[in-house]
Amino acid sequence: MIILASASPRRRELLTQIGVPHTVQPADIDETPAANEHPEDYVVRMARSKGLVVASSLRIPATVLAADTSVILNGQILGKPESPEHHRAMLEQLSGNTQQVLSAIAVVTGDRCDTRLVTTHVTFRQLDEVLIKRYLECGEGKDKAGGYGIQGKGAVLVADIHGSYSNVVGLPLAETAVLLEQHGISYWQT
């Protein structure tokens, strides 16, 4: 059993998919990027911070898994949409362009914290105004980094993907499994 330092239902589903029993204890941290912080450094710092904060709050020792995912376009972090207008602008920016989806994973056991950074390249098809309007109306992407969900209706926005699909969903499973194994946690548990 591990502690998942995330409220993301997608991360819970992905852990369940690979048979890792877990409980959820979201981390409450400031997720503001530091001035001039590179996106790669940001996601690693967020994952480590989430894992360490939750681990330090536990009454009994346990293994904590934390993750952070960001969508990067032209070196800029695209967070979650702040308003319908921001969401529209985000989709317009992504239209016809290739973005990087960065996920950092941190696994904390006692004083040990190991991290991995995974990058997936996602290319959006050219989005016309009608498609953007329809996607905004479905409401799916308003709570997701980059403003879309590849595992849902947003799949039709994607023309090409290079790298880990589960990374784009929010938790790169192959790298997560390796880190968990290194901390004595097996997957495919029944």
Summarised one tens digit per residue, pLDDT across range 72-85 is 999 999 989 999 99
Sign of the torsion formed by the C-alpha atoms of 136, 140, 141 and 142: positive
Residues tagged active-site: 68
Tell me, yes or no, if the pTM score tops 0.85.
yes
Q: What is the spatial distance between Cα 98 and Cα 80, in angstroms, rounded to a whole number?
A: 18
Q: State how far the Cα of 36 lies from the Cα of 47, in Å rounded to an integer.
A: 18
In the chain, the domains with their CATH numbers are 2-182 (3.90.950.10)
- Rounded distance between C-alpha atoms, residue 1 and residue 167, angstroms: 22
* pLDDT tens sequence across 30-74: 999 999 999 999 999 999 999 999 999 999 999 999 999 999 999
Q: Could you give the percent of the chain with pLDDT greater than 70?
A: 100
Give the three-state DSSP class for 36: coil
